[in-house]
């Protein structure tokens, strides 16, 4: 039989996304699901803005899968694995059936319109991912693979049914590992993706910058852990290490008692000190950046300066363990910080003084 001269049959590659769809994904939906971090994302240099924004959408989608508490834990773990597998699939042979099933299954369980829209447009996110260069795809794939380990850690460590007794992470090593999985790895990704697209960064010691970036991410996540103690406890999650609680004759169940806030204060202060140590490395990260990529420096300054002020609120809060506590800085403080940071772009020393002043305020509370 004469062999065919035509190439093997392949599934057609999906057409490129329209500008309208790209704008919907990378601006409108992004704004709905990223909250305050949206400010940093939209100010990023254009060369890497879409890649970082898309990576954030994937991380939020994975978080949505992990946090859909109406579904059994085993099902969510399997869905996370299915989600991860799509990053290994050739763009010419997308496993669209599984992806569409995943999308449709989780849309109906979302209470947030932003998360419903994100899950609805998940196939378009993967289509946009397929349009990226292979090097950018690899960075996003590695990010999602590591970050979802933190989500699996949540699902296996903590209760999944309402009414179950809350649990704590076993020790400080587990907390450090968790903050790396869900945020430290983001600092490394942030460094890698910008170094790949901004020539000014390629002259830096990237190994050192990645290490600083990991500490940056851990500091931001520890800040989140502390400000969300009450809401996490309501879901059966306590990120205060059990060894820390035991050292103060406390059990997780004691955190629901009226005097719990006072009793955990030494633990909170200890973790605030750890957080400040991480954020000092974030300060160095920003100081190491060249002056030229102004947008990149600004996008790094804002979350760092917001975190310092949030730590001040944490240290003075009397409702830290209440489920509905609003432990955050005011909108006016956000705008004031953004305005003040513009002056810091003109002088590295000006940024250092601003950082040191905010840090000193936290340190005074701890002393």
Neighbours of 187 (CB within 10 A): 28
Neighbours of 326 (CB within 10 A): 11
**Assigned domain for 68 exists:** yes
Confidence at residue 9, expressed as pLDDT on a 0 to 100 scale: 33
Question: What global pTM score does this model have?
Answer: 0.92
Same domain flag for 127 and 270: no
**Does the structure show a pLDDT above 90 at 231?**
yes
**Assigned domain for 313 exists:** yes
Q: Tokens 């999985």 map to which residue?
A: 181
**Does the structure show a pLDDT above 80 at 12?**
no
Cβ neighbors of 121 (< 8 A, separation 6 or more) are: 21, 24, 25, 29
Same domain flag for 123 and 199: no
Q: Report how many domains make up the chain.
A: 2
| Confidence category of residue 2, pLDDT binned at 50, 70, 90 | very low
**Assigned domain for 10 exists:** no
The CA distance from 191 to 89, in Å, is: 25
**Where does the chain have alpha helices with state H?**
19-23, 30-34, 37-42, 46-66, 73-85, 96-107, 113-120, 122-131, 134-157, 172-179, 185-197, 206-227, 229-234, 242-247, 260-263, 265-288, 294-316, 331-344, 348-366
Q: Identify the DSSP state of 109.
A: T
227 or 2, which is more confident?
A: 227
**Assigned domain for 141 exists:** no
Same domain flag for 190 and 321: yes
Q: Domain with 218 in it: what CATH number?
A: 1.10.600.10
Q: How far is CA 104 from CA 20, 29, 74, 271, in A?
A: 23, 17, 18, 40
Neighbours of 359 (CB within 10 A): 17
Long-range contacts of 304-308 (CB under 8 A, 24+ apart): 304/216, 304/219, 304/220, 304/279, 304/355, 305/337, 305/341, 305/354, 305/355, 305/358, 306/36, 306/334, 306/337, 307/219, 307/220, 307/223, 307/275, 307/279, 308/279, 308/355, 308/358, 308/359, 308/362
Same domain flag for 122 and 212: no
Same domain flag for 121 and 197: no
Same domain flag for 126 and 227: no
**Assigned domain for 304 exists:** yes
35 is in which domain, residue-wise? Answer: 17-133
Cβ(224)–Cβ(232) below 8 Å: no
**Does the structure show a pLDDT above 60 at 124?**
yes
Which of 99-108, 175-184, 284-293, 324-333 is predicted least confidently?
A: 99-108
**Assigned domain for 149 exists:** no
Confidence at residue 105, expressed as pLDDT on a 0 to 100 scale: 87
Cβ(177)–Cβ(149) below 8 Å: no
Quick: pLDDT tens for 157-197. 997 666 678 899 999 999 999 999 999 999 999 999 999 99
Same domain flag for 212 and 324: yes
Could you tell me which of 278, 269, 281 has the C-alpha nearest to residue 364?
269
Same domain flag for 169 and 318: yes
**Does the structure show a pLDDT above 90 at 241?**
yes
Tokens of 263: 């009793």
Same domain flag for 326 and 194: yes
Cβ(160)–Cβ(72) below 8 Å: yes
**Assigned domain for 207 exists:** yes
Same domain flag for 228 and 350: yes
Same domain flag for 96 and 168: no
pLDDT, average across residues 92-110: 78
What value does the mean pLDDT of the chain take?
91
Same domain flag for 217 and 354: yes
pLDDT, average across residues 32-38: 86
Tokens of 361: 């305020």
**Assigned domain for 206 exists:** yes
């Amino acid at each position: 039989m004469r062999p065919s001269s035509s190439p093997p049959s392949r599934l057609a590659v999906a057409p490129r996304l329209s500008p309208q769809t790209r704008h919907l994904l990378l601006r409108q939906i992004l704004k709905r699901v990223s909250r305050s971090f949206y400010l940093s994302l939209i100010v990023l240099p254009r060369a890497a803005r879409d890649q970082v924004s898309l990576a954030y959408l994937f991380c939020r989608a994975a978080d949505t899968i992990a946090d859909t508490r109406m579904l059994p834990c085993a099902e969510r773990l399997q869905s996370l694995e299915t989600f991860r597998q799509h990053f290994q699939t050739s763009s010419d042979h997308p496993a669209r059936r599984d992806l569409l099933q995943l999308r449709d299954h989780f849309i109906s369980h979302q209470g947030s319109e932003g998360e419903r829209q994100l899950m609805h447009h998940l196939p378009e996110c993967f289509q946009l991912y397929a349009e990226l260069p292979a090097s950018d795809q690899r960075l996003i794939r590695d990010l999602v693979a590591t970050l979802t380990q933190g989500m699996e850690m949540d699902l296996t460590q903590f209760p999944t049914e309402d009414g179950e007794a809350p649990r704590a992470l076993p020790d400080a090593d587990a907390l450090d590992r968790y903050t790396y999985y869900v945020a430290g790895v983001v600092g490394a990704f942030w460094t890698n993706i910008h170094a790949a697209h901004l020539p000014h960064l390629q002259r830096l010691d990237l190994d050192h910058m990645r290490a600083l970036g990991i500490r940056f991410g851990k500091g931001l996540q520890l800040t989140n852990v502390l400000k969300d103690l009450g809401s996490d406890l309501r879901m059966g999650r306590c990120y205060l290490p059990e060894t820390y609680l035991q050292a103060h004759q406390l059990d997780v169940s004691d955190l629901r008692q009226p005097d719990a806030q006072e009793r955990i204060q030494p633990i909170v202060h200890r973790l605030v000190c750890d957080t400040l140590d991480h954020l000092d490395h974030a300060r160095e990260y920003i100081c190491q950046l060249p002056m030229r990529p102004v947008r990149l420096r600004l996008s790094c300054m804002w979350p760092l300066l917001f975190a310092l002020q949030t730590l001040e609120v944490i240290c003075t809060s009397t409702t830290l363990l209440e489920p509905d506590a609003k432990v955050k800085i005011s909108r006016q403080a956000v705008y004031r910080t953004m305005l003040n940071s513009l002056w810091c772009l003109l002088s590295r020393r000006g940024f250092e003084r601003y950082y040191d002043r905010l840090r000193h305020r936290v340190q005074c509370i701890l002393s």
